[in-house]
Amino acid sequence: MLIAIRPFSLLFIAIGLIWGVLSTDNGLQTVVEWDNGSLMINGERLIIMSGEFHYARLPVPELWLDVFQKFKANGMNAVSIYFFWSYHSASKGVYDFTTPAKDIQRLFDTAKQAGLYVIARPGPYCNAETNGGGFALWTSDGSGGKYRTSDETYRQAWSEWISKVGAIIAKNQITNGGPVILAQVENELQQTRYQANDTLVVYMEQLKTAFKQAGIVVPLTHNEKGFRSKSWSTDYNNVGGAINVYGLDSYPGGMSCTNLDTGFNLPRTYYQWFQDVSPSQPEYLPEFEGGWFQPWGGYFFDQCLAEQSPEFADVFYKGLIGQRATLLNLYMAYGGTNWGHSAAPVVYTSYDYAAPLRETREVRDKFKQYKLLALFTRVSKGLHNTVMESNGTANAVDNTAIWTWVLKNRDTDARFYLTENNNTRTRAVTDFAITVQTSAGAIKIPDMQLRGRQSRWVITDYAVGNETLLYSSAEVLTYGIFDRPVLAFYLKEGQTGQFAFKSANNITFSTHGMHSDFTSASTNSSGHVSFKYMQSKGATVVRFSNGVVAYLLDIPTAYTFFAVPTTDTPSVTADQHIFVLGPYLVRSAGVSGDTITIVGDNALATTIEVYAGTGVDRVIWNGQQLAATKTSYGSLVAQISGAEGRKIDLPALSTFKAADSSPEILAAYDDSNWVLANKNTTLSQVKPLTLPVLFSSDYKYYTGAKIYRGYFSAKSARSLNITVQGGAAAGWNAWLNGQPIGYNPGNATQWSSTALLSFNNATLKDEGNVVSVVTDYTGHDQTSTGPTGAENPRGILGAQLLSVNNTRLSFDYWKIQGNAGREKNIDPVRGPMNEGGLYGERLGWHLPGFDAGTWEDSSPTEDGVHGVGIRWFTTTFDLNIDEDLDVPIGVELGAASGTVARVLLFMNGYQYGKYLPHIGPQTRFPVPPGILNTRGKNTLSIAIWAQTTVGARLSKLRLIEYARYQSGFDFAGIDNKALQPEWKDRSEYA
């Protein structure tokens, strides 16, 4: 569609030119507009500070609010969401948007409730390190056509998804009172040719039409893959396919997980890139490094300290805003869990991502550091529409080791100087002076310092209600307009800040709280009183005679500062929040009469200080009225308790029952109900190595382990040449007439393996010899994995029987088995991807309510599995966590080194962990409440697949507590029952 200037805005062009404002809309609505400066929503400029969240990776809808409240509390005003087609569609034409964890109407409602805008990214291709990149797995047999082209077969497949999900997104657009402000078409699709008839251009046009037909009218966006190409911008070689607001993704950290000295070079090319590719649009980073994923055999996220460092947030996120970005989405802000086969082969169970919000839903320091920037952008109106005035080393500063970006507001004198180390990796302490331009002339501010990986804002002509900060080298965290203006500044302890007000010359002050050397001096030529201090530990409060109150916070204290909105709209103005200092988290606050009611979380007993304006005398924290005292400068101070003294009993995991879960390896096993694998043709672009086709997707088995049984009568057979493909780290085992004949342990960097299995040690029968092969699975590929991405087959690619002189012999027939019910999605609540084809899975042994009473007592740690085989262990345990606590809990597994095994962990029916002791790295598996019953009975199953004759057992199996918080969140309100359907007889799937 064409970009149109809003017709009636023509009337305002004259005014617009004077103001430098000429907003654009997409001709379909005028609620969301944009120009080169920023997005405008209902005519208001704002900086979008967004976080990526995948509800499919947290299948407890009540917890979406927990995550969103944490986003909001840490300064975000938007959430960017991928919608995985795979998660909603078990088979062609069938879509589930109603079971609890797939209820995306509830997702939108929850975002709205938390005061977040939504950037909707429905693909159809997402990537996201998710199974098949998000493509419905029923397309993986080749019936999806040529992915990500204008191919008609492919178009027909994705059209049903976009029309269904698009309609729900459309209903939730801001134009209909919902939270959706932007919709992304496709993802990281690189434009390679600027020709209208190019298949990618045609594909983008098809998608845009489909989005529009679904009713999507908000501006469309795209996500350029790094700085690799220049795609789909209306401003750049537009031959069709262009979207409204161009975006660029970027993961520039370049850090190793454990080596703190690699990478950390902040690119300085963002501004110029956007000026080149999308000069009429705001600078949008649809994905910027919130963390990074880790592969099988890689590091575990707890080790990734470089990625988790708050320094990264301080230098990189500020560095983007310094380059004039006004839409910034962190990927991931909360990664979650690749439970139940939601991983692509490139990742393991945890999708923690070293994100600001940990997989356990704990707020990392990186998020707290981000908050200092995000809250600043929220109230700093001058920053919402700037021009790049200057930049460079020694620019406005007296030291060539310092680089500055100088942004000036288009309409006012307000300037924003971002000072950063020229070498962003340095750990040197650098002192310098900066000379800023103000409405009162140039002012030199001495005593600036960057201590290693630190960046600092210096602002000028910064409006704070009716007062103006002429300049400040103390960083502004935020300000609020109460009965008086209240400012919050932050600095590292021992660093010097200096600021001045514009209004009057003879301002006096008094200080409160921690020791402070706060002083004033008449400033040189400007005649303004300047205030100067060295940041002490903790907080100091200064009351000025012009009415302003200022909090001076060191970094750890600033991390506990919350500017809690009193409105549920995503944009929050300076008179729409109250301040709370002290706790770990504040979720919400409301003032009614003389009472402020606060809901939050806290680990350790602490003092809280609340600034809510005059007239508020009573503080209620999580339902308890606190004994609060009023300070002389108008805040309330009280004590809140933590969770440190609370009693939490995590039971030992014992009294397991066990049964064999690999009866299919025996020759006599009855597979008469199994599917005959007899196809001689396939839609796959990958050719089978032998016939019949044994690709599992061709028989509509997609996720998890598959089991094959090949029958032959040729007594002269001496070996089997077999090729199996299950994705990175997947392995397999083979048996002949019940005897192990070979295996592959899997390899973190190998997707498939070939082996020649000798029959020398086996006795063959005249007929009815059976080769049983159990193949593991780590997901379908993303399109970056050739040759055909999600259509790359899984299972057996070829199986050739050979005689002693290598003559090719034939199998009589093959049977295949996989997840119970194939595409039928027999457990719609847990969804189509939760299960694989292990015997125990097919019979539902993982489900609560399954009675293992007749099984033998046997322990996964003491007994384990003897020899090659798969054994199922199950137990129940009770938890009784107090309702007002949030205690993230996980299961920790271990095995002696040398153990070659594949272990699946099921909690109340959900596959919440895949543990490969010989490949690693993950041994700790968090399980969220809702999947775990924190007050009640739990069913835990462990399937151990021992790959070698040595057998396998666990050396460690225990529940672990990650943290504990006293919380006002309604964890008790989680509807566990709805999420955990009980076992039903499944013998038909044996």
Ligand X SMILES: *[C@@H]1O[C@H](CO)[C@@H](O)[C@H](O)[C@H]1NC(C)=O
Length of the chain: 990
Assign 3-class secondary structure to 628-659.
CEECCCCCEEEEECCCCCCCCCCCCCCCCEEE
Q: Cβ of residue 405: shortest distance to ligand X, in angstroms?
A: 8
Nearest Cα to Cα of residue 785 among 722, 725, 707, 723: 725
Q: Can 287 be counted among the known catalytic residues?
A: yes
For ligand X, the closer CB: 272 or 949? 272
What is the closest distance, in whole angstroms, from the C-beta atom of residue 186 to ligand X in the complex? Answer: 21
Q: How far apart are CA 168 and CA 422, in angstroms?
A: 47
Q: Indicate the residue among 391 and 449 with the shorter CB distance to ligand X.
A: 391
To ligand X, the closest distance from the beta carbon of 196 in angstroms equals 7
Name 735's bridge partners.
740, 772
| In the complex, least distance from residue 248 CB atom to ligand X, rounded to whole angstroms | 14
CA distance 22 to 619: 46
Nearer Cβ to ligand X, position 87 or 273? Answer: 273
**Which burial class, exposed, middle or buried, applies to 314 when counting CB atoms under 10 A from its CB (0-12, 13-18, 19+)?**
buried
| Residues 113, 847 contacting (CB under 8 angstroms) | no
Q: 3-class DSSP state for residue 199? A: helix
390 vs 876, beta carbon nearer ligand X:
390
- Listed in sequence order, the residues at least 6 apart from 131 whose beta carbon sits closer than 8 Å to its beta carbon are 86, 137, 341, 342, 343, 344, 703, 779, 780, 833
Q: Which C-beta is closer to ligand X: that of 145 or that of 613?
A: 145
Q: Which is nearer to ligand X, 394 or 666 (CB)?
A: 394
**For residues 337 and 58, is the Cβ–Cβ distance under 8 A?**
yes
Annotated active-site residue 52? The verdict is no
Nearer to ligand X, 202 or 959 (CB): 202
* Interface with ligand X (CB under 6 A): 195, 197, 268, 271-272, 388, 390-391
CA 567 to chain centroid, in Å, comes to: 26
Preceding omega of 124 cis (within 30 degrees of 0): yes
Please pick, among 33, 62, 129, 188, the residue that the annotation labels catalytic: 188
- CB 202 → ligand X: shortest distance, Å? 10
Identify the H or E element spanning 557: helix 555-558
Q: How far is the CB of 936 from ligand X (least distance, A)?
A: 57
Which residue is associated with the tokens 């080393």? 393
Distance CA 845, CA 946 (A): 19
Q: Residues 256, 292: contact at Cβ < 8 Å?
A: no
Q: Is 767 exposed, middle or buried (0-12, 13-18, 19+ CB in 10 A)?
A: exposed
- CA 680 from centre of chain: 42
Catalytic residue chosen out of the listed positions 287, 311, 420, 467: 287
Q: How far is CA 954 from the centre of its chain?
A: 31
Please give the C-alpha separations between residue 539 and each of 125, 472, 490, 543, 581, in angstroms, as whole numbers. Answer: 48, 18, 9, 13, 9
Minimum CB separation from ligand X for residue 199, in Å? 8
Contact 510, 545 (CB under 8 A): no
Neighbours of 648 (CB within 10 A): 15
CB of 387 to ligand X, least distance (A): 7
Q: What is the dihedral of CA 837, 841, 842, 844, to 10 degrees?
A: -170
C-alpha to C-alpha distances, 534 to 26, 500, 529, 554, 928, nearest whole angstrom: 50, 15, 17, 10, 44
With respect to ligand X, which residue has the nearer C-beta, 213 or 393? Answer: 393
Inter-residue contact 600 to 587 (CB < 8 Å): yes
- Provide the token pair at 240: 């069709």
Q: Which amino acid is present at 859?
A: S
Q: Which of 883, 954, 950, 949 is nearest to 913 (CA)?
A: 954
852: three-class secondary structure by DSSP: coil
DSSP 8-state symbol, 989: G
Q: Are 516 and 526 in contact (CB under 8 A)?
A: no
Beta bridge partners of 707: 774, 817
If the CB atoms of residues 197 and 681 are measured against ligand X, the closer one turns out to be 197
Q: How far is the CB of 35 from ligand X (least distance, A)?
A: 17
User: Element (H or E) spanning 544, and its range?
Assistant: strand 539-544
Q: Minimum Å distance from CB 322 to ligand X?
A: 10
For ligand X, the closer CB: 271 or 735: 271
Identity of the residue, 458 or 616, whose beta carbon is nearer to ligand X in the bound complex: 458
The 3-state DSSP class for residue 526 equals: coil
Write down the least CB distance from residue 324 to ligand X, Å. Answer: 8
Nearer to ligand X, 109 or 205 (CB): 205
The residue written with tokens 């498939």 in the block is 752
Judge if the upstream peptide bond of residue 787 is cis by omega within 30 degrees of 0. Answer: yes
Closer Cβ to ligand X, 412 or 747, answer by number? 412
Instruction: Report whether 738 contacts 666 (CB < 8 A).
Output: yes
Q: How many CB atoms lie within 10 A of CB 14?
A: 9
Q: Least separation, in Å, of the C-beta of 268 and ligand X? A: 5
Q: Give min distance, CB of 370 to ligand X, in A.
A: 23
What string of H, E and C letters represents the secondary structure of 222-240? CCECCCCCCCCECCCCCCC
Catalytic residues: 188, 287
